[in-house]
Structure 1
Amino acid sequence: MQENSLCPCGSKQVYAQCCQPIHADTKQAIQPVQLMRARYSAHVLKNVDFVIATYHSSCQAALQAEAIAESVDSHWVELDVLDAPTPKNTEEGYVEFKAYFEEDGQRYCLHERSRFIKENKEWRYIDGIMPEENIDPRLNQTIAKTKIGRNDPCLCGSGKKFKKCCG
Protein backbone atom coordinates (compact mmCIF):
# COMPACT_ATOMS: atom_id res chain seq x y z
CA MET A 1 0.00 0.00 0.00
CA GLN A 2 1.30 3.46 -0.85
CA GLU A 3 2.02 5.68 2.14
CA ASN A 4 -0.16 8.51 0.80
CA SER A 5 -3.16 6.21 0.22
CA LEU A 6 -6.19 6.51 2.45
CA CYS A 7 -6.17 4.03 5.30
CA PRO A 8 -8.34 0.93 4.76
CA CYS A 9 -9.94 1.44 8.19
CA GLY A 10 -12.10 4.26 6.84
CA SER A 11 -10.70 6.97 9.13
CA LYS A 12 -10.20 9.29 6.12
CA GLN A 13 -6.55 9.67 7.19
CA VAL A 14 -3.63 8.50 5.10
CA TYR A 15 -2.38 5.02 5.97
CA ALA A 16 1.08 6.33 6.95
CA GLN A 17 -0.50 8.49 9.68
CA CYS A 18 -3.20 6.07 10.81
CA CYS A 19 -2.74 2.29 10.96
CA GLN A 20 0.74 1.90 9.49
CA PRO A 21 2.54 3.12 12.67
CA ILE A 22 0.50 0.62 14.71
CA HIS A 23 1.29 -2.16 12.23
CA ALA A 24 4.96 -1.36 12.82
CA ASP A 25 4.65 -1.03 16.63
CA THR A 26 1.50 -2.05 18.51
CA LYS A 27 2.48 0.26 21.41
CA GLN A 28 1.31 3.10 19.16
CA ALA A 29 -2.32 2.04 19.80
CA ILE A 30 -3.17 4.29 22.74
CA GLN A 31 -6.91 3.47 22.68
CA PRO A 32 -8.67 0.16 21.91
CA VAL A 33 -10.35 1.69 18.85
CA GLN A 34 -6.94 2.36 17.31
CA LEU A 35 -5.94 -1.28 17.68
CA MET A 36 -9.33 -2.42 16.36
CA ARG A 37 -8.96 -0.20 13.28
CA ALA A 38 -5.41 -1.50 12.75
CA ARG A 39 -6.66 -5.09 13.03
CA TYR A 40 -9.34 -4.36 10.40
CA SER A 41 -6.70 -2.77 8.13
CA ALA A 42 -4.52 -5.84 8.65
CA HIS A 43 -7.44 -7.97 7.39
CA VAL A 44 -7.72 -5.79 4.28
CA LEU A 45 -3.95 -5.90 3.72
CA LYS A 46 -3.77 -9.67 4.41
CA ASN A 47 -1.38 -9.13 7.33
CA VAL A 48 -2.15 -12.36 9.20
CA ASP A 49 0.89 -12.05 11.47
CA PHE A 50 -0.34 -8.71 12.85
CA VAL A 51 -3.82 -10.10 13.53
CA ILE A 52 -2.36 -13.09 15.38
CA ALA A 53 0.10 -10.92 17.33
CA THR A 54 -2.65 -8.60 18.58
CA TYR A 55 -4.74 -11.32 20.23
CA HIS A 56 -4.37 -11.59 24.00
CA SER A 57 -1.97 -14.41 24.85
CA SER A 58 -4.75 -16.35 26.64
CA CYS A 59 -6.45 -16.79 23.25
CA GLN A 60 -3.50 -18.83 21.96
CA ALA A 61 -4.09 -17.39 18.49
CA ALA A 62 -1.00 -19.04 17.03
CA LEU A 63 -2.74 -22.38 17.44
CA GLN A 64 -5.62 -21.03 15.33
CA ALA A 65 -3.38 -19.51 12.65
CA GLU A 66 -5.00 -21.41 9.78
CA ALA A 67 -8.56 -20.35 10.72
CA ILE A 68 -7.39 -16.76 11.29
CA ALA A 69 -5.66 -16.73 7.90
CA GLU A 70 -8.89 -17.94 6.28
CA SER A 71 -10.84 -15.11 7.94
CA VAL A 72 -8.23 -12.55 6.88
CA ASP A 73 -8.41 -13.87 3.33
CA SER A 74 -11.99 -12.61 2.92
CA HIS A 75 -12.62 -9.56 0.73
CA TRP A 76 -13.09 -6.88 3.41
CA VAL A 77 -14.72 -3.75 2.00
CA GLU A 78 -15.84 -1.38 4.77
CA LEU A 79 -15.56 -0.67 8.47
CA ASP A 80 -18.14 1.27 10.47
CA VAL A 81 -17.19 2.02 14.09
CA LEU A 82 -20.47 2.38 15.99
CA ASP A 83 -19.21 3.01 19.51
CA ALA A 84 -15.73 3.38 20.96
CA PRO A 85 -15.98 5.03 24.36
CA THR A 86 -12.81 6.08 26.14
CA PRO A 87 -12.16 3.24 28.59
CA LYS A 88 -13.18 4.04 32.17
CA ASN A 89 -10.88 1.27 33.30
CA THR A 90 -7.35 1.75 32.00
CA GLU A 91 -6.98 -2.02 31.57
CA GLU A 92 -10.17 -2.86 29.61
CA GLY A 93 -12.03 -1.23 26.73
CA TYR A 94 -14.75 -1.96 24.18
CA VAL A 95 -15.38 -1.14 20.53
CA GLU A 96 -18.62 -1.88 18.70
CA PHE A 97 -18.32 -2.06 14.94
CA LYS A 98 -19.69 -3.44 11.72
CA ALA A 99 -17.19 -4.86 9.25
CA TYR A 100 -18.43 -5.68 5.79
CA PHE A 101 -16.99 -8.29 3.44
CA GLU A 102 -17.97 -9.75 0.08
CA GLU A 103 -18.07 -13.37 -0.93
CA ASP A 104 -19.56 -15.03 -4.00
CA GLY A 105 -21.11 -11.72 -5.10
CA GLN A 106 -22.87 -11.23 -1.76
CA ARG A 107 -22.15 -8.60 0.89
CA TYR A 108 -22.05 -9.74 4.53
CA CYS A 109 -21.73 -7.92 7.84
CA LEU A 110 -19.84 -8.89 10.97
CA HIS A 111 -21.37 -6.88 13.83
CA GLU A 112 -19.44 -7.22 17.08
CA ARG A 113 -18.77 -5.55 20.40
CA SER A 114 -15.11 -6.38 20.92
CA ARG A 115 -13.34 -6.41 24.26
CA PHE A 116 -9.73 -5.35 24.55
CA ILE A 117 -7.54 -5.67 27.60
CA LYS A 118 -4.02 -4.55 28.31
CA GLU A 119 -1.24 -7.08 28.36
CA ASN A 120 2.28 -5.85 29.07
CA LYS A 121 0.93 -2.28 28.78
CA GLU A 122 -0.38 -2.87 25.23
CA TRP A 123 -3.97 -3.28 24.06
CA ARG A 124 -4.89 -6.78 22.90
CA TYR A 125 -8.11 -8.24 21.51
CA ILE A 126 -9.51 -10.89 23.84
CA ASP A 127 -13.10 -11.58 22.76
CA GLY A 128 -16.31 -10.14 21.43
CA ILE A 129 -20.04 -10.61 21.46
CA MET A 130 -22.60 -10.16 18.74
CA PRO A 131 -25.36 -7.74 19.72
CA GLU A 132 -28.69 -9.38 20.57
CA GLU A 133 -30.37 -8.51 17.26
CA ASN A 134 -27.82 -10.72 15.48
CA ILE A 135 -28.46 -13.85 17.52
CA ASP A 136 -30.31 -16.47 15.54
CA PRO A 137 -33.57 -17.46 17.32
CA ARG A 138 -32.76 -21.12 16.58
CA LEU A 139 -30.05 -20.89 19.25
CA ASN A 140 -32.80 -20.77 21.91
CA GLN A 141 -34.05 -24.22 20.86
CA THR A 142 -32.74 -27.56 22.01
CA ILE A 143 -30.36 -29.34 19.65
CA ALA A 144 -32.96 -32.06 19.02
CA LYS A 145 -35.47 -29.48 17.76
CA THR A 146 -33.03 -27.37 15.74
CA LYS A 147 -33.23 -27.98 12.02
CA ILE A 148 -30.65 -26.30 9.85
CA GLY A 149 -30.77 -26.54 6.10
CA ARG A 150 -27.53 -26.26 4.14
CA ASN A 151 -28.77 -23.01 2.58
CA ASP A 152 -30.04 -21.50 5.85
CA PRO A 153 -28.07 -18.67 7.46
CA CYS A 154 -25.38 -20.01 9.79
CA LEU A 155 -26.15 -19.99 13.50
CA CYS A 156 -22.85 -18.29 14.30
CA GLY A 157 -24.15 -15.03 12.84
CA SER A 158 -21.53 -14.66 10.13
CA GLY A 159 -24.18 -13.97 7.50
CA LYS A 160 -22.92 -16.87 5.40
CA LYS A 161 -24.93 -19.92 4.45
CA PHE A 162 -24.57 -22.78 6.94
CA LYS A 163 -22.90 -25.02 4.32
CA LYS A 164 -20.23 -22.35 3.63
CA CYS A 165 -19.57 -21.64 7.29
CA CYS A 166 -19.99 -24.03 10.21
CA GLY A 167 -21.72 -26.81 8.23
Structure 2
Amino acid sequence: MPCLCGHPQAYENCCQPIHQNAQFAKHPEQLMRARYSAHVLNDVEFVLKTYHSSCKAYEQAESIEESVRSHWIELKVIDSQEQDDEGYVEFKAYFEDNGQSYCLHERSRFLKEDNEWRYIDGVIPEEKIVDPRLLKTIADTKIGRNEPCLCGSGKKFKKCCG
Protein backbone atom coordinates (compact mmCIF):
# COMPACT_ATOMS: atom_id res chain seq x y z
CA MET A 1 0.00 0.00 0.00
CA PRO A 2 1.49 3.38 -0.99
CA CYS A 3 2.34 6.07 1.53
CA LEU A 4 -0.17 8.79 2.39
CA CYS A 5 1.95 11.18 0.30
CA GLY A 6 1.34 9.09 -2.84
CA HIS A 7 4.86 7.66 -3.00
CA PRO A 8 4.84 3.93 -3.87
CA GLN A 9 6.75 3.02 -0.67
CA ALA A 10 4.75 2.09 2.42
CA TYR A 11 4.25 4.82 5.06
CA GLU A 12 6.56 2.92 7.44
CA ASN A 13 9.43 3.26 4.93
CA CYS A 14 8.58 6.69 3.54
CA CYS A 15 7.13 9.42 5.78
CA GLN A 16 6.96 7.74 9.18
CA PRO A 17 10.74 7.83 9.83
CA ILE A 18 10.74 11.56 8.97
CA HIS A 19 7.76 12.12 11.29
CA GLN A 20 9.82 10.52 14.05
CA ASN A 21 12.96 12.53 13.19
CA ALA A 22 12.89 15.32 10.61
CA GLN A 23 16.66 14.91 10.06
CA PHE A 24 15.85 11.83 7.97
CA ALA A 25 14.56 14.15 5.22
CA LYS A 26 17.65 14.39 3.01
CA HIS A 27 15.88 16.34 0.24
CA PRO A 28 13.21 19.08 0.25
CA GLU A 29 10.75 16.79 -1.55
CA GLN A 30 11.00 14.24 1.26
CA LEU A 31 10.17 16.89 3.85
CA MET A 32 7.33 18.28 1.72
CA ARG A 33 5.83 14.78 1.34
CA ALA A 34 6.17 14.19 5.09
CA ARG A 35 4.48 17.53 5.78
CA TYR A 36 1.61 16.54 3.47
CA SER A 37 1.29 13.17 5.26
CA ALA A 38 1.28 15.03 8.57
CA HIS A 39 -1.67 17.06 7.25
CA VAL A 40 -3.50 13.82 6.40
CA LEU A 41 -2.75 12.47 9.90
CA ASN A 42 -3.63 15.79 11.61
CA ASP A 43 -0.11 15.94 13.07
CA VAL A 44 -0.05 19.68 13.71
CA GLU A 45 3.09 19.49 15.86
CA PHE A 46 5.20 18.02 13.03
CA VAL A 47 4.02 20.70 10.62
CA LEU A 48 4.82 23.46 13.14
CA LYS A 49 8.31 22.21 13.96
CA THR A 50 9.28 21.84 10.29
CA TYR A 51 8.77 25.54 9.55
CA HIS A 52 11.92 27.67 9.30
CA SER A 53 12.50 29.56 12.55
CA SER A 54 12.11 32.92 10.77
CA CYS A 55 8.45 32.04 10.09
CA LYS A 56 7.58 32.06 13.80
CA ALA A 57 5.07 29.29 13.13
CA TYR A 58 4.10 28.80 16.77
CA GLU A 59 2.75 32.37 16.81
CA GLN A 60 0.40 31.34 13.97
CA ALA A 61 -0.36 27.88 15.35
CA GLU A 62 -4.13 28.36 15.35
CA SER A 63 -4.40 29.19 11.64
CA ILE A 64 -1.86 26.48 10.74
CA GLU A 65 -3.86 23.94 12.75
CA GLU A 66 -7.01 24.94 10.85
CA SER A 67 -5.26 24.19 7.55
CA VAL A 68 -3.89 20.88 8.80
CA ARG A 69 -7.33 19.78 9.96
CA SER A 70 -8.78 20.01 6.43
CA HIS A 71 -9.69 16.75 4.69
CA TRP A 72 -6.64 16.12 2.49
CA ILE A 73 -7.22 13.74 -0.42
CA GLU A 74 -4.24 13.55 -2.77
CA LEU A 75 -0.78 14.94 -3.47
CA LYS A 76 0.85 15.33 -6.88
CA VAL A 77 4.46 16.46 -7.01
CA ILE A 78 5.12 18.39 -10.23
CA ASP A 79 8.77 19.37 -9.84
CA SER A 80 11.53 19.25 -7.26
CA GLN A 81 14.87 21.08 -7.31
CA GLU A 82 17.64 21.69 -4.82
CA GLN A 83 20.97 23.42 -4.83
CA ASP A 84 23.20 23.64 -1.78
CA ASP A 85 21.01 24.74 1.14
CA GLU A 86 17.92 25.84 -0.81
CA GLY A 87 15.27 23.77 -2.55
CA TYR A 88 11.93 24.11 -4.26
CA VAL A 89 9.02 21.70 -4.64
CA GLU A 90 6.06 22.45 -6.87
CA PHE A 91 2.99 20.40 -6.05
CA LYS A 92 -0.78 20.19 -6.14
CA ALA A 93 -2.52 19.08 -2.95
CA TYR A 94 -6.21 18.29 -3.16
CA PHE A 95 -8.58 18.69 -0.22
CA GLU A 96 -12.27 18.92 0.62
CA ASP A 97 -14.01 21.49 2.75
CA ASN A 98 -17.76 21.64 3.37
CA GLY A 99 -18.43 19.22 0.52
CA GLN A 100 -16.39 21.23 -2.00
CA SER A 101 -13.15 20.02 -3.59
CA TYR A 102 -10.16 22.36 -3.82
CA CYS A 103 -6.60 22.28 -5.10
CA LEU A 104 -3.67 24.01 -3.45
CA HIS A 105 -1.05 24.56 -6.18
CA GLU A 106 2.17 25.87 -4.68
CA ARG A 107 5.86 26.17 -5.35
CA SER A 108 7.30 25.77 -1.86
CA ARG A 109 10.74 26.97 -0.85
CA PHE A 110 12.85 25.10 1.68
CA LEU A 111 16.06 26.16 3.41
CA LYS A 112 18.47 24.16 5.50
CA GLU A 113 18.59 25.26 9.11
CA ASP A 114 20.77 23.42 11.63
CA ASN A 115 21.45 20.86 8.89
CA GLU A 116 17.72 20.06 8.48
CA TRP A 117 15.37 21.06 5.68
CA ARG A 118 12.69 23.54 6.77
CA TYR A 119 9.72 25.05 4.94
CA ILE A 120 10.09 28.82 4.66
CA ASP A 121 7.50 30.04 2.14
CA GLY A 122 5.71 29.33 -1.09
CA VAL A 123 4.17 31.02 -4.07
CA ILE A 124 1.13 30.10 -6.09
CA PRO A 125 2.29 29.69 -9.70
CA GLU A 126 0.46 31.64 -12.35
CA GLU A 127 -1.85 29.40 -14.29
CA LYS A 128 -1.19 29.56 -18.01
CA ILE A 129 -4.25 30.72 -19.88
CA VAL A 130 -5.00 28.44 -22.78
CA ASP A 131 -6.87 29.73 -25.81
CA PRO A 132 -10.06 27.59 -25.79
CA ARG A 133 -9.75 27.18 -29.56
CA LEU A 134 -6.63 25.06 -28.93
CA LEU A 135 -8.78 22.47 -27.17
CA LYS A 136 -10.74 21.73 -30.37
CA THR A 137 -9.71 19.55 -33.27
CA ILE A 138 -8.45 21.30 -36.39
CA ALA A 139 -11.56 20.24 -38.29
CA ASP A 140 -13.80 21.87 -35.64
CA THR A 141 -11.77 25.08 -35.37
CA LYS A 142 -13.09 28.08 -37.26
CA ILE A 143 -10.65 30.96 -37.25
CA GLY A 144 -11.57 34.24 -38.85
CA ARG A 145 -8.87 35.95 -40.88
CA ASN A 146 -8.91 38.97 -38.57
CA GLU A 147 -8.89 37.01 -35.29
CA PRO A 148 -5.73 36.74 -33.18
CA CYS A 149 -3.49 33.90 -34.30
CA LEU A 150 -3.58 30.71 -32.25
CA CYS A 151 0.21 30.67 -31.94
CA GLY A 152 0.07 33.59 -29.50
CA SER A 153 2.13 35.99 -31.61
CA GLY A 154 -0.42 38.75 -31.20
CA LYS A 155 -0.72 39.14 -34.98
CA LYS A 156 -3.90 38.58 -36.95
CA PHE A 157 -4.34 35.00 -38.15
CA LYS A 158 -4.18 36.06 -41.83
CA LYS A 159 -0.79 37.78 -41.30
CA CYS A 160 0.70 34.93 -39.27
CA CYS A 161 -0.21 31.26 -39.58
CA GLY A 162 -3.27 31.65 -41.82
Q: Distance in 1 between matches of 2:65 and 2:2?
A: 24
How do 1:63-102 residues align onto structure 2 when only pairs under 5 Å count? 63-85=59-81, 87=82, 89-102=83-96
Aligned with 2:127: secondary structure? Answer: helix
Q: Aligned residues, how many? A: 128
Aligned with 1:52: secondary structure? Answer: helix
Structure 1 equivalent of residue 33 of structure 2 = 37
1:12 and 2:8 are equivalent in the alignment: yes
Q: Given the two structures, how large is their TM-score scaled by the length of structure 2?
A: 0.77
Deviation, structure 1 residue 76: 0.1
Q: Which runs of 5+ in 2 are unaligned?
A: 129-162
Q: Which amino acid aligns with 1:99?
A: A
Aligned with 1:132: secondary structure? Answer: coil
RMSD: 1.1
1:59 and 2:59 are equivalent in the alignment: no
Q: Distance in 1 between matches of 2:2 and 2:71?
A: 17
Q: Distance in 1 between matches of 2:98 and 2:48?
A: 26
Find the partner of 1:121 among 115, 119, 136.
115
Q: Which runs of 5+ in 1 are unaligned?
A: 135-167
Q: Which segment is superposed worse, 103-112 or 54-63?
A: 103-112
Q: Distance in 2 between matches of 1:37 and 1:57?
A: 20
Deviation, structure 1 residue 6: 3.1
Deviation, structure 1 residue 24: 0.3
Aligned with 1:81: secondary structure? Answer: strand
Misfit runs of 4+, over 4 Å: none
Q: Distance in 2 between matches of 1:6 and 1:65?
A: 29
